Amino acid sequence: GRAGEVLLGRRGEHTRQPGRWSFPSGFVERGERVEDAARRETLEETGLDVELGPVLTVVSSAGEAVVLVVYPAIAYTGTPAANDDLTEVCWFALDALPELAFPHDLEIIALWREQSRSRA
């Protein structure tokens, strides 16, 4: 990402929490490595090729079928553009976040912030 900012996408009308903002995400295809799926989905949704860092966290909830594997990423080529399930993409400063789609979005940002501080 850009220093101190996160790239979020506004979710389209055929997604959960349409109109709210969240991280680019998607599903792993059968036989696909999780890391490859993360890069592919980011490219499909935002137009950005990214380099992934080590896994930041894994998010799962009782009663939810979805398990999130979260990676920090740095964009190395491309210009952000909304595609696929997103209607808009935008960089946000951590102190000026929009209305987020899911409670785990704030948890991910807090963890990323904490780990970034410990590395500095």
Catalytic residues: 88
From residue 49, alpha-carbon distances to 5, 33, 45, 97, 103 in Å are 17, 16, 11, 23, 27
Question: What is the enclosing helix (H) or strand (E) of 50?
Answer: strand 49-52
d(CA 37, CA 26): 8
CA geometry: angle 15, 69, 71, nearest 5 deg: 105
